Amino acid sequence: MVMSVVVACFSMFFLNKSMILLVLLCILFLSVLEIGVFESDLVMLSGSVSYDFLSVSLSVLSILIMIFSFMSSAKCNREKLFYFSNMALLLFLILAFCTSSFIGFFFFFESALIPLILIIMGWGYQFERMEASTYMFIYTVFGSLFFLFGVCLLIYSGMSDNMLSLGNNIDKKVSAFWWLFVLGFLIKLPVYPFHLWLPKAHVEAPVAGSMMLAGVVLKLGGYGLIRLMNVMSVSFGLKSYNLMLSVAMVGGVYASLVCCRQVDMKCLVAYSSVGHMSLVLLGCLSNIGMGIKGALFIMIGHGLCSSGMFSLVNVFYLHSGYRNLYMNKGFLSKSPILCLVGFLLCSSNMAAPPSLNLFGEVLMFICSFFISYCFLLLLTVMTIVSAVYSLHLYTTTCHGKMSDSSNSLDTVSYNAVFVLLSHWIPLNFLFLFMP
């Protein structure tokens, strides 16, 4: 799979868009076959690359979101360079998910920033994209340096940097400062209060950049947390543990409340990611099997749902010329099929059945019940508020009288509706195949 992506990445300048999508579909097919063969078993390749259900499922998600982002990008300047940057991003993401070394994970973890920043700076919408790229770079690199220091401390103390061979033999000095070494992952997720770079990056990024950022890049933080907490000896009665979870859950409720007051549709979807990622942090730090499985379900479900929401927002923007929520009204009278698919995505965003988000949140409810009743209460509030802002987004854009400044919706392409449905179908039927 990795070699296929490498070949496709360096073939960008010789292939057109349809051929690129065909190559990606072939890679996706091979990856799905790998999931069916490996299931939860571990496959090691030369000790540096490892495949298990977690890594392969996130790799498949990366390829799927990349296909959708290409289909959502109708026309862009410097087309071949744009496709090359996106394929380079996909290559780094798959290598990060499949490497078994913490040093290798850090390298690909940071390398994914380079094509992502190029996409935001080269194909962003406004001049503020330079500031957004700088914010993202400073936040993520600064936090990751603490993770690199922790890995170096492991190697210096005679331990291995392999994710799967450490077990509970980790040095006690590293465990004492575990909260410092996960800082880079908290920024990458991101959770409150390390989320300030995310809305800026989403607002300035093109639709393909927003879809990849929300759908896959944020999952690097959750994946790194799961791998690191598997080898860390952390006492869950520590004040640092309770403080971290408390701030993240309260921040998730706060971010959900902010969504109810947002008028920029891209910012609304971006802040909703902060609330969902706080649930991922709860599952990763719970040290409970169902908590980790629930975190994986939420990551995959959020990847599909958030990517679809950004694609939906882009369709509204293309036909109205505005990202303001109150400048996009009355779409139901012009394009009922678009509003139907938009309602399905909004309902999945608030974890309506049978979406994968629902199964993840149910596991989070059980997990929070074992940890603390306070987290259970915060999770309940967050779930209710997510339903409020999801329905608010749908009713505001689809109902009411359309603005006179809006363009005609008679030219809504079947491609846009197909992309949105392609997000919703696996989001609501993947639970049939999850172990």
Q: How far apart are CA 263 and CA 76, in angstroms?
A: 27
Question: Residues 309, 208: one domain?
Answer: no
| One domain for residues 289 and 367 | yes
Judge residue 345's burial from the number of C-beta atoms within 10 Å of its C-beta, 0-12 exposed, 13-18 middle, 19 or more buried. Answer: buried
**Do 333 and 314 share a structural domain?**
yes
Q: Which of 234, 253, 276 is the last residue of a domain?
A: 234
Same domain, 59 and 206: yes
Q: Which of 198, 217, 234 is the last residue of a domain?
A: 234
Pair (222, 291) in one structural domain: no
Question: Can the peptide bond before residue 336 be classed as cis, meaning omega within 30 degrees of 0?
Answer: no
Same domain, 261 and 209: no
Same domain, 279 and 364: yes
**Boundaries of domain holding 330:** 236-435
Q: Is residue 291 within 8 Å of 195, Cβ to Cβ?
A: no
Count CB neighbours of 79 within 10 A.
Answer: 13
Domain count, the chain: 2
Domain identity same for 333 and 389: yes
Omega of the bond prior to 206 within 30 degrees of 0, cis? Answer: no
Domain final position from 188, 219, 234: 234
385 & 271 share domain: yes
Is 325:268 a contact under the CB 8 Å cutoff? yes
Report yes or no: 225 and 285 within 8 Å, Cβ to Cβ: yes
Q: Are both 297 and 367 inside the same structural domain?
A: yes
Segment (H or E) for 44: strand 43-45
Same domain for 215 and 259, yes or no, is: no
Per-position pLDDT tens, the chain of length 435: 555 555 555 455 445 555 565 566 566 555 555 554 444 445 555 556 777 788 888 988 888 898 888 888 767 777 888 888 888 898 899 889 888 888 888 889 889 989 999 998 888 777 778 888 888 888 888 888 888 887 887 777 767 677 776 554 555 556 667 777 888 888 888 898 888 888 888 888 888 888 999 888 888 999 988 888 877 767 677 788 888 888 999 999 999 999 998 888 989 999 999 989 999 999 888 878 888 889 999 999 999 999 999 999 998 888 888 888 888 888 888 788 889 999 999 999 988 888 899 989 999 998 888 888 888 899 999 999 999 999 999 999 988 777 665 554 456 678 888 889 989 998 988 777 666
258, 359: one domain: yes
Could you tell me if 182 and 228 are in contact, meaning their C-beta atoms sit under 8 angstroms apart?
Answer: yes
